[in-house]
Amino acid sequence: MRLEGKTAVITGSSRSIGAAVAKRYAREGAKVVINYLDTPAFAEQVVHEIVSAGGQAFAVQADVSREEDVKRLVRETADRYGSLDILVNNAAVDPRKTWYEISVEEWDAIMGNNVRSQFLCAREAFPYMKAQRYGKIINVSSVTFFTGQKNFLHYVASKGAIIGFTRALAREVGEHGITVNCITPGAVLTETEYEKVSERTIRESGEMLAKAQCFARREIAADLEGAFVFLASHDSDFISGQTLNVDGGWMMH
Protein backbone atom coordinates (compact mmCIF):
# COMPACT_ATOMS: atom_id res chain seq x y z
CA MET A 1 0.00 0.00 0.00
CA ARG A 2 1.65 3.17 -1.25
CA LEU A 3 0.05 5.63 1.19
CA GLU A 4 0.10 3.56 4.36
CA GLY A 5 0.19 5.69 7.50
CA LYS A 6 -0.51 8.95 5.68
CA THR A 7 -3.40 11.32 6.37
CA ALA A 8 -5.18 12.84 3.39
CA VAL A 9 -7.73 15.64 3.14
CA ILE A 10 -9.66 15.69 -0.13
CA THR A 11 -11.89 18.71 -0.56
CA GLY A 12 -15.18 18.22 -2.34
CA SER A 13 -14.97 14.46 -1.92
CA SER A 14 -18.55 13.40 -1.27
CA ARG A 15 -19.15 12.73 -4.97
CA SER A 16 -17.53 12.36 -8.39
CA ILE A 17 -13.75 12.65 -8.77
CA GLY A 18 -13.16 13.53 -5.12
CA ALA A 19 -15.05 10.47 -3.86
CA ALA A 20 -13.17 8.17 -6.24
CA VAL A 21 -9.81 9.56 -5.09
CA ALA A 22 -10.78 9.27 -1.43
CA LYS A 23 -11.75 5.62 -1.78
CA ARG A 24 -8.57 4.81 -3.74
CA TYR A 25 -6.39 6.57 -1.14
CA ALA A 26 -8.05 4.50 1.57
CA ARG A 27 -7.31 1.32 -0.35
CA GLU A 28 -3.70 2.47 -0.52
CA GLY A 29 -3.60 2.72 3.29
CA ALA A 30 -4.27 6.42 3.88
CA LYS A 31 -6.51 7.80 6.61
CA VAL A 32 -8.97 9.94 4.70
CA VAL A 33 -10.99 13.05 5.51
CA ILE A 34 -14.09 13.47 3.35
CA ASN A 35 -14.97 17.13 2.95
CA TYR A 36 -18.38 18.24 1.74
CA LEU A 37 -20.40 21.44 1.52
CA ASP A 38 -24.09 20.45 1.45
CA THR A 39 -24.30 16.72 0.67
CA PRO A 40 -23.96 14.98 4.05
CA ALA A 41 -25.67 11.78 2.92
CA PHE A 42 -23.24 11.31 0.05
CA ALA A 43 -20.28 12.07 2.31
CA GLU A 44 -21.38 9.54 4.91
CA GLN A 45 -21.87 6.95 2.17
CA VAL A 46 -18.24 7.40 1.10
CA VAL A 47 -17.12 7.08 4.71
CA HIS A 48 -19.25 3.95 5.11
CA GLU A 49 -17.73 2.32 2.05
CA ILE A 50 -14.20 3.05 3.24
CA VAL A 51 -14.76 1.89 6.80
CA SER A 52 -16.65 -1.23 5.68
CA ALA A 53 -13.64 -2.18 3.58
CA GLY A 54 -11.34 -1.87 6.60
CA GLY A 55 -10.12 1.68 6.02
CA GLN A 56 -10.21 4.83 8.14
CA ALA A 57 -12.26 7.90 7.25
CA PHE A 58 -14.55 10.55 8.62
CA ALA A 59 -16.49 13.44 7.10
CA VAL A 60 -16.21 17.16 7.81
CA GLN A 61 -18.65 19.76 6.53
CA ALA A 62 -16.81 22.91 5.47
CA ASP A 63 -17.19 25.63 2.88
CA VAL A 64 -13.55 25.73 1.78
CA SER A 65 -13.93 29.22 0.34
CA ARG A 66 -14.38 30.46 3.93
CA GLU A 67 -11.34 30.95 6.13
CA GLU A 68 -12.91 29.86 9.40
CA ASP A 69 -14.33 26.71 7.85
CA VAL A 70 -10.93 25.74 6.47
CA LYS A 71 -9.28 26.32 9.84
CA ARG A 72 -11.85 24.01 11.42
CA LEU A 73 -11.42 21.36 8.72
CA VAL A 74 -7.67 21.18 9.24
CA ARG A 75 -7.96 21.36 13.02
CA GLU A 76 -10.43 18.46 13.14
CA THR A 77 -8.14 16.46 10.85
CA ALA A 78 -5.13 17.00 13.09
CA ASP A 79 -7.15 16.31 16.24
CA ARG A 80 -8.39 12.98 14.85
CA TYR A 81 -5.30 11.70 13.06
CA GLY A 82 -2.42 13.74 14.49
CA SER A 83 -1.03 14.92 11.15
CA LEU A 84 -1.81 16.07 7.65
CA ASP A 85 0.39 14.63 4.92
CA ILE A 86 -1.63 14.94 1.72
CA LEU A 87 -3.95 17.75 0.62
CA VAL A 88 -6.02 17.37 -2.53
CA ASN A 89 -7.60 20.68 -3.52
CA ASN A 90 -10.47 19.29 -5.55
CA ALA A 91 -13.55 21.33 -4.58
CA ALA A 92 -14.90 23.46 -7.44
CA VAL A 93 -18.01 24.65 -9.18
CA ASP A 94 -18.43 24.85 -12.95
CA PRO A 95 -21.52 26.79 -14.06
CA ARG A 96 -22.01 27.50 -17.76
CA LYS A 97 -22.90 30.98 -18.93
CA THR A 98 -22.29 33.34 -21.84
CA TRP A 99 -19.30 35.45 -20.81
CA TYR A 100 -20.93 38.89 -21.09
CA GLU A 101 -23.84 37.76 -18.92
CA ILE A 102 -21.59 36.82 -15.97
CA SER A 103 -22.18 39.19 -13.08
CA VAL A 104 -19.41 40.47 -10.84
CA GLU A 105 -20.94 38.47 -7.99
CA GLU A 106 -20.86 35.26 -10.06
CA TRP A 107 -17.26 35.92 -11.11
CA ASP A 108 -16.20 36.45 -7.51
CA ALA A 109 -18.06 33.34 -6.35
CA ILE A 110 -16.24 31.17 -8.91
CA MET A 111 -12.87 32.59 -7.90
CA GLY A 112 -13.70 32.07 -4.24
CA ASN A 113 -14.83 28.49 -4.63
CA ASN A 114 -12.18 27.40 -7.13
CA VAL A 115 -9.08 29.47 -6.32
CA ARG A 116 -9.29 31.09 -2.88
CA SER A 117 -10.24 27.70 -1.44
CA GLN A 118 -6.96 26.19 -2.62
CA PHE A 119 -4.94 29.03 -1.12
CA LEU A 120 -6.75 28.78 2.22
CA CYS A 121 -6.40 25.00 2.44
CA ALA A 122 -2.72 25.05 1.52
CA ARG A 123 -2.02 27.81 4.02
CA GLU A 124 -3.68 25.93 6.88
CA ALA A 125 -2.05 22.62 5.98
CA PHE A 126 1.41 24.14 5.66
CA PRO A 127 2.38 24.30 9.37
CA TYR A 128 1.79 20.57 9.78
CA MET A 129 3.73 19.70 6.64
CA LYS A 130 6.53 22.10 7.51
CA ALA A 131 6.90 20.62 11.00
CA GLN A 132 7.39 17.12 9.60
CA ARG A 133 9.39 18.37 6.59
CA TYR A 134 7.14 16.45 4.27
CA GLY A 135 3.88 17.00 2.48
CA LYS A 136 2.01 16.56 -0.78
CA ILE A 137 -0.30 19.22 -2.17
CA ILE A 138 -2.24 18.24 -5.28
CA ASN A 139 -4.33 20.93 -6.95
CA VAL A 140 -7.06 20.09 -9.44
CA SER A 141 -7.32 22.31 -12.51
CA SER A 142 -8.97 21.33 -15.82
CA VAL A 143 -8.24 20.43 -19.42
CA THR A 144 -10.27 23.53 -20.29
CA PHE A 145 -7.16 25.56 -19.47
CA PHE A 146 -5.64 24.05 -22.62
CA THR A 147 -8.76 24.05 -24.78
CA GLY A 148 -10.35 27.33 -23.83
CA GLN A 149 -14.06 26.73 -23.61
CA LYS A 150 -17.12 28.63 -24.77
CA ASN A 151 -19.58 29.63 -22.04
CA PHE A 152 -16.98 28.82 -19.38
CA LEU A 153 -14.95 32.04 -19.12
CA HIS A 154 -15.06 32.41 -15.33
CA TYR A 155 -14.41 28.69 -14.82
CA VAL A 156 -11.51 28.51 -17.29
CA ALA A 157 -9.97 31.65 -15.81
CA SER A 158 -10.13 30.11 -12.34
CA LYS A 159 -8.56 26.87 -13.55
CA GLY A 160 -5.74 28.79 -15.22
CA ALA A 161 -5.13 30.62 -11.97
CA ILE A 162 -4.70 27.26 -10.24
CA ILE A 163 -1.84 26.32 -12.54
CA GLY A 164 -0.08 29.60 -11.73
CA PHE A 165 -0.79 29.07 -8.05
CA THR A 166 0.72 25.59 -8.24
CA ARG A 167 3.96 26.81 -9.81
CA ALA A 168 4.45 29.71 -7.43
CA LEU A 169 3.59 27.73 -4.31
CA ALA A 170 6.02 24.97 -5.31
CA ARG A 171 8.80 27.59 -5.21
CA GLU A 172 7.70 28.74 -1.75
CA VAL A 173 7.55 25.37 0.03
CA GLY A 174 10.15 23.15 -1.62
CA GLU A 175 12.74 23.93 1.05
CA HIS A 176 10.43 22.24 3.56
CA GLY A 177 10.20 18.97 1.65
CA ILE A 178 6.70 19.73 0.33
CA THR A 179 5.72 19.06 -3.27
CA VAL A 180 2.98 20.96 -5.07
CA ASN A 181 1.59 19.61 -8.32
CA CYS A 182 -1.52 19.93 -10.43
CA ILE A 183 -3.76 17.51 -12.31
CA THR A 184 -5.91 18.62 -15.24
CA PRO A 185 -8.70 16.07 -15.75
CA GLY A 186 -10.34 15.79 -19.13
CA ALA A 187 -14.06 15.57 -19.80
CA VAL A 188 -14.83 13.15 -16.99
CA LEU A 189 -18.24 11.53 -17.06
CA THR A 190 -19.52 11.46 -13.50
CA GLU A 191 -22.93 11.09 -11.91
CA THR A 192 -23.24 14.85 -11.51
CA GLU A 193 -23.09 15.49 -15.26
CA TYR A 194 -26.53 13.96 -15.63
CA GLU A 195 -27.84 16.65 -13.28
CA LYS A 196 -26.41 19.49 -15.38
CA VAL A 197 -27.02 18.60 -19.02
CA SER A 198 -29.30 16.39 -21.09
CA GLU A 199 -28.53 12.83 -22.09
CA ARG A 200 -28.44 14.01 -25.69
CA THR A 201 -25.68 16.49 -24.86
CA ILE A 202 -23.76 13.77 -23.03
CA ARG A 203 -24.09 11.47 -26.03
CA GLU A 204 -22.96 14.16 -28.48
CA SER A 205 -20.01 15.06 -26.25
CA GLY A 206 -19.01 11.43 -26.14
CA GLU A 207 -19.06 11.19 -29.92
CA MET A 208 -16.92 14.31 -30.27
CA LEU A 209 -14.40 13.14 -27.68
CA ALA A 210 -14.17 9.68 -29.24
CA LYS A 211 -12.76 11.40 -32.33
CA ALA A 212 -10.57 13.94 -30.49
CA GLN A 213 -8.93 11.69 -27.89
CA CYS A 214 -6.44 8.88 -28.38
CA PHE A 215 -8.94 6.56 -26.68
CA ALA A 216 -12.42 6.39 -28.16
CA ARG A 217 -14.44 6.52 -24.94
CA ARG A 218 -15.39 8.97 -22.24
CA GLU A 219 -13.05 9.37 -19.33
CA ILE A 220 -14.34 8.20 -15.94
CA ALA A 221 -13.14 9.01 -12.44
CA ALA A 222 -11.28 5.71 -12.14
CA ASP A 223 -9.00 6.83 -14.97
CA LEU A 224 -7.63 9.57 -12.71
CA GLU A 225 -6.95 7.57 -9.57
CA GLY A 226 -3.47 6.39 -10.50
CA ALA A 227 -2.25 9.93 -11.17
CA PHE A 228 -3.52 11.08 -7.78
CA VAL A 229 -1.82 8.15 -6.03
CA PHE A 230 1.46 8.80 -7.84
CA LEU A 231 1.56 12.48 -6.87
CA ALA A 232 0.65 11.62 -3.26
CA SER A 233 3.27 8.89 -2.91
CA HIS A 234 7.03 8.83 -2.40
CA ASP A 235 7.40 7.99 -6.10
CA SER A 236 6.95 11.70 -6.88
CA ASP A 237 9.16 13.16 -4.14
CA PHE A 238 11.40 14.96 -6.67
CA ILE A 239 8.56 16.32 -8.80
CA SER A 240 7.07 19.73 -8.03
CA GLY A 241 5.41 22.63 -9.80
CA GLN A 242 4.17 20.38 -12.59
CA THR A 243 0.84 19.97 -14.36
CA LEU A 244 -0.17 16.44 -15.32
CA ASN A 245 -2.88 16.32 -17.98
CA VAL A 246 -5.03 13.18 -17.72
CA ASP A 247 -7.53 13.36 -20.55
CA GLY A 248 -7.07 10.32 -22.76
CA GLY A 249 -4.78 12.14 -25.14
CA TRP A 250 -7.19 14.90 -26.10
CA MET A 251 -4.88 17.87 -25.49
CA MET A 252 -1.11 17.47 -25.54
CA HIS A 253 1.46 19.87 -24.11
State residue 85's pLDDT score: 98
Note the pLDDT tens digit of each residue in 154-184.
999 999 999 999 999 999 999 999 999 999 9
Q: How many angstroms from the chain centroid is the CA of residue 25?
A: 13
Q: From CA 107, how far away is CA 191, in angstroms rounded?
A: 25
State residue 195's pLDDT score: 66
User: Measured between alpha carbons, how far apart are the two ends of the chain, in Å?
Assistant: 31
Q: What is the rounded average pLDDT of the residues 54-59? A: 98
Q: Would you list the domain boundaries of the chain?
A: 7-189+221-245
State residue 16's pLDDT score: 95
- Spell 7-26 as b/e; 16+ CB within 10 A means b: bbbbbbbbbbbbbbbbbbbb
Banded pLDDT at 193 (limits 50, 70, 90): low
Note the pLDDT tens digit of each residue in 195-223.
677 778 778 888 888 889 999 999 999 99
Q: Which of 17-31, 40-54, 162-176, 200-214 has the lowest mean pLDDT?
A: 200-214
* Distance set, CA 33 to CA 19, 110, 162 (Å): 11, 24, 22
> Does residue 153 contact residue 110 with C-beta atoms inside 8 Å?
no
The active-site residue out of 36, 100, 155, 194 is 155
* Distance set, CA 57 to CA 12, 154, 225 (Å): 14, 33, 18
State residue 154's pLDDT score: 97
155 is catalytic: yes
Note the pLDDT tens digit of each residue in 148-157.
989 999 999 9
Banded pLDDT at 243 (limits 50, 70, 90): very high
Q: From CA 141, how far away is CA 181, in angstroms rounded?
A: 10
State residue 208's pLDDT score: 87
| Domain 7-189+221-245 belongs in CATH node 3.30.1380.20 | no
